[in-house]
Structure 1
Amino acid sequence: MPQIEISSACDGGTGLLANDKDVKAASDSTGQIESRWSLIEVQGVIDGVAPGVRMGTVSFDDKNTPWLLVGRHRLRGKRVKLDKPYGVMQRSDNRIVALLRVKYLFSERPVLILDDSNVGLPGLLRRK
């Protein structure tokens, strides 16, 4: 299962993800291709994540379904084509570095991931 690390954007609830297959990147004046991006949309707000900090990982299963793992929470998502493409601009010289044509939407409730050490009464008894 391929995995991609994601970092948070400026506002809680939306992040950006590096992904080569869904985006046509624009080239700068030297002809070099910039990083490629995809938009991640999360219903709700992810608390405690500062801009630019690693937020979690996105992985894809055999059916190409995206899964977002944030801490001990796992969310199933879906790939959605955007009605109109979004441009990612670099503030320093106002150039477009990528065009976003798809987003990954995570709108279902997260599933809590537990390991054997913290499940049920036996887990509580072992901690003493």
Structure 2
Amino acid sequence: MVHIVIHSYKDSVQTQDLIYLDFQGSFESVDNIQLSNVEIGDLTLSTDSAQLIIGHHKLTGKKVKLQKPLAVIHKRKDMMDEGGGEYDVVTILKEKYVFSGRPGLIVQESLRGLTRIGK
């Protein structure tokens, strides 16, 4: 039998403030660049919405309450053995930001109106 201990949030060694971002799609990079530890954009949070700007694209998200809270746990480094271990509850997530729409294109003010389609 494997013995696993999960320490409560107040007794955890490592706690963090985390945000759950839910995207309805995927991110792709040019030339197969790995996306770990890469700045992908600017995130602005407000009380009920979020805005993520990546290059010339703007994504808008809406804050939604999770049906069930989500515990984020992290294995303690001093317990990296194969047969069990100890975990810390890093945070409890109760809400998320859902980005369900397509990205909007951001055009510089100086370039607006240069191309007209139709009359």
Which residue of structure 2 aligns with residue 43 of structure 1? 24
Q: CA RMSD in A?
A: 2.7
- Divergent runs of 4+, >6 A: none
Structure 2: gaps spanning 5 or more residues: 1-7, 78-85
Please give the TM-score of this superposition, normalised by the length of structure 2.
0.64
Residues 22-81 of structure 1: per-residue CA shift (max 9 Å, x gap): xxx923356xx72211200111001126223323222146x7431111222101111111
Structure 1: gaps spanning 5 or more residues: 1-24, 123-128
Q: Does 2:11 align with 1:28?
A: yes
Which residue of structure 2 aligns with residue 57 of structure 1? 42
Please give the TM-score of this superposition, normalised by the length of structure 1.
0.60
Q: Does 2:108 align with 1:108?
A: no
Aligned length: 95
Which of 67, 79, 86 is matched with 1:83 structurally?
Answer: 67
- Structure having the higher Rg: 2
Distance 1:53 1:28, change over 3 A: farther
8 Å contact 1:56–1:69 — kept in the other structure?
A: yes
Tell me the percent identity.
33
8 Å contact 2:49–2:97 — kept in the other structure?
A: no
Residue 119 of structure 1 and its aligned partner are, at CA, apart by 5.0
Question: Within 1, Cα distance between the matches of 2:9 and 2:88?
Answer: 9
8 Å contact 2:9–2:90 — kept in the other structure?
A: yes
Residues 91-123 of structure 1: per-residue CA shift (max 9 Å, x gap): 33421110111000001010111214655658x
Larger relative contact order (Cα-Cα within 8 Å, sequence gap ≥ 6): 2
Aligned partner of residue 67 in structure 1, secondary structure: strand
Which residue of structure 2 aligns with residue 95 of structure 1? 88
8 Å contact 1:28–1:97 — kept in the other structure?
A: no
